């Protein structure tokens, strides 16, 4: 099975690769992980991960710089219909629009908007940085993603995703208000936290993603 991590100049991907490798070790399966910036590799993959740190606008710009990448991602998601995981900005990029810096269009895969965390609550610091509980929004997803049922994951973000369709929210986290910490729609999954920085629980989540068969 070929797993691709999309390399679009959005930071160091070694820890994601390392933690995936460590998750695979527990599985004893024949997985191959590749960090790639080649659209043709994405199309051929069995699992694709879109990471992302920094801000929405920069990430989108970098992604657009790779000729054919956006088309390949859309083809992979819609035609191949295989599992696709977005992490942090990688999840936010699936939204319709983000309001970070200015209004910018996303990949329009999830009917949602990316907005600033409200900091007018008492003692609410932004960025939301550190370990926070993730809760499953719907227990029917427990079988596939039990790691997201009341465990701590590492967050670092100032913007969050506001989903229009409640049934696309996989998990939430409380930070002043209820914020979406994971989304799920068909073969798409996205997490706001960083599984690659979340030690054992993060590894468990990545294992679940590797096992995940959305069909």
Least distance (Å) between residue 120 CB and other proteins = 10
Q: How many C-beta neighbours within 10 Å does residue 215 have?
A: 7
Could you give the CA distance from residue 103 to residue 185 in angstroms, rounded to a whole number? Answer: 24
Binding status of residue 27 toward other proteins by CB under 8 A: no
Could you give the CA distance from residue 77 to residue 100 in angstroms, rounded to a whole number? Answer: 25
Could you give the CA distance from residue 143 to residue 131 in angstroms, rounded to a whole number? Answer: 24
With contacts defined by CB under 8 A, name the span among 26-34, 66-74, 124-132, 136-144 that binds other proteins: 124-132
Binding status of residue 174 toward other proteins by CB under 8 A: yes
Binding status of residue 119 toward other proteins by CB under 8 A: yes
User: What is the CA angle 91-95-98, rounded to 5?
Assistant: 100
User: What is the separation of C-alpha 11 from the centre of its chain, rounded to a whole number of angstroms?
Assistant: 15
Q: Is 88 noted as a catalytic residue in this protein?
A: yes
Lookup: tokens for 131: 């370990």
Of residues 9 and 74, the one with the C-beta less far from other proteins: 9
Binding status of residue 99 toward other proteins by CB under 8 A: no
Binding status of residue 202 toward other proteins by CB under 8 A: yes
> Residue 40: which of 10, 16, 75 has the closest Cα?
75
Least distance (Å) between residue 81 CB and other proteins = 30
Could you give the CA distance from residue 61 to residue 159 in angstroms, rounded to a whole number? Answer: 18
Binding status of residue 141 toward other proteins by CB under 8 A: no
Binding status of residue 55 toward other proteins by CB under 8 A: yes
Least distance (Å) between residue 14 CB and other proteins = 6
Of residues 54 and 68, the one with the C-beta less far from other proteins: 54
Of residues 31 and 154, the one with the C-beta less far from other proteins: 154
Least distance (Å) between residue 129 CB and other proteins = 5
User: What is the CA angle 151-2-48, rounded to 5?
Assistant: 55
> Residue 145: which of 204, 197, 62 has the closest Cα?
204
Instruction: Please report, as residue ranges, which positions from 152 to 171 form the binding site for other proteins (by CB under 8 A).
Output: 152, 154, 156-158
Q: Which residue among the candidates 100, 196, 207, 208 is catalytic per the annotation? A: 196
Could you give the CA distance from residue 93 to residue 113 in angstroms, rounded to a whole number? Answer: 10
Instruction: List contacts with other proteins (CB under 8 A).
Output: 11-12, 14-15, 18-19, 22, 53-55, 58, 119, 123-133, 152, 154, 156-158, 174-175, 194, 196-199, 202-203
């Amino acid at each position: 099975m070929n797993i691709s991590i999309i390399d679009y100049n959005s930071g160091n991907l070694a820890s994601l690769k390392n933690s995936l490798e460590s998750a695979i070790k527990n599985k004893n399966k024949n997985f191959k992980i590749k960090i790639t910036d080649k659209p043709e590799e994405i199309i051929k993959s069995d699992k694709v991960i879109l990471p992302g740190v920094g801000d929405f606008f920069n990430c989108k710009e970098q992604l657009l710089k790779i000729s054919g990448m956006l088309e390949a991602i859309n083809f992979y998601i819609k035609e191949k219909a295989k599992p696709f995981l977005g992490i942090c900005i990688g999840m936010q990029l699936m939204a319709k629009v983000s309001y970070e810096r200015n209004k910018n269009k996303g990949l329009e895969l999830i009917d949602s908007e990316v907005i600033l965390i409200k900091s007018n609550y008492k003692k609410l610091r932004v960025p939301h940085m550190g370990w926070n509980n993730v809760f499953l929004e719907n227990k029917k997803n427990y079988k596939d993603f039990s790691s997201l049922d009341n465990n701590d994951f590492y967050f670092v973000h100032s913007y969050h995703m506001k989903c229009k369709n409640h049934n696309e929210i996989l998990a939430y986290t409380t930070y002043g208000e209820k914020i979406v910490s994971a989304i799920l729609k068909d073969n798409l999954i996205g997490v706001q936290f960083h599984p690659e920085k979340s030690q054992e629980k993060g590894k468990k989540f990545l294992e679940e993603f590797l096992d995940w068969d959305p069909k």
